[in-house]
């Protein structure tokens, strides 16, 4: 080993120290450069991250607004469908009520039809009976005209009928 007291050794030592110091300064300079690069890239990363976060935040805001719009639209459609279901129920109820009225009217119509048919039959039988009576009256008139020599005429009023009967009785006694 070399002694510190030697002149050469101080120069060697000073030279070693200055080389170590230069290496240390170079290392520090390199570390500063690395630190500056890392700091710069970290700032860029933070800026990009912040921009990305802001973009995501804006997208999320749009998404939340869309979700709210969809919820409102869904609620409106739900209310609309409930209103339509209520209207359908009312219309169905009205249709059922109209069907019941229709059935009632059909039954009433059938009853009236039966009554009409009965009345028609009754009128036909009365017509036939009246026709038979008219035949009998015509036969009786012919018998009266032929046997009694009387003429039977249609008289318009009751007073005329009484007058004719009284004349017939008087004339009947005279002959």
> Where are the domains positioned within the chain?
11-166
pTM attached to this predicted model: 0.43
Cα distances from 47 to residues 37, 43, 83, in angstroms, run 15, 6, 53
More confident of the two residues 147 and 128: 128
Per the prediction, the chain carries an average pLDDT of 84
- For 91, the token pair is 């219309």
116: confidence class by pLDDT, cuts 50, 70, 90: very high
pLDDT at 170 over 60: no
């Amino acid at each position: 080993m070399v002694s510190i007291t030697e002149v050469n050794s101080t120069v060697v030592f000073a030279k070693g120290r200055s080389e170590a110091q230069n290496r240390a300064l170079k290392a520090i300079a390199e570390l500063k450069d690395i630190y500056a690069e890392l700091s710069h890239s970290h700032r860029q990363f933070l800026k990009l991250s912040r921009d990305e976060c802001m973009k995501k935040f804006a997208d999320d805001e749009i998404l939340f607004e869309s979700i709210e719009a969809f919820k409102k639209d869904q609620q409106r459609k739900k209310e609309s469908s409930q209103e339509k279901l209520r209207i359908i129920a009312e219309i169905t109820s009205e249709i059922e009520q109209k069907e019941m009225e229709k059935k009632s009217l059909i039954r009433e119509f059938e009853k009236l039809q039966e009554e009409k048919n009965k009345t028609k039959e009754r009128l036909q039988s009365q017509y036939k009976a009246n026709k038979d009576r008219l035949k009998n009256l015509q036969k009786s008139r012919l018998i009266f005209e032929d046997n009694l020599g009387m003429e039977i005429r249609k008289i318009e009023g009751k007073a005329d009928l009484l007058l004719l009967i009284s004349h017939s009785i008087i004339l009947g006694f005279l002959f």
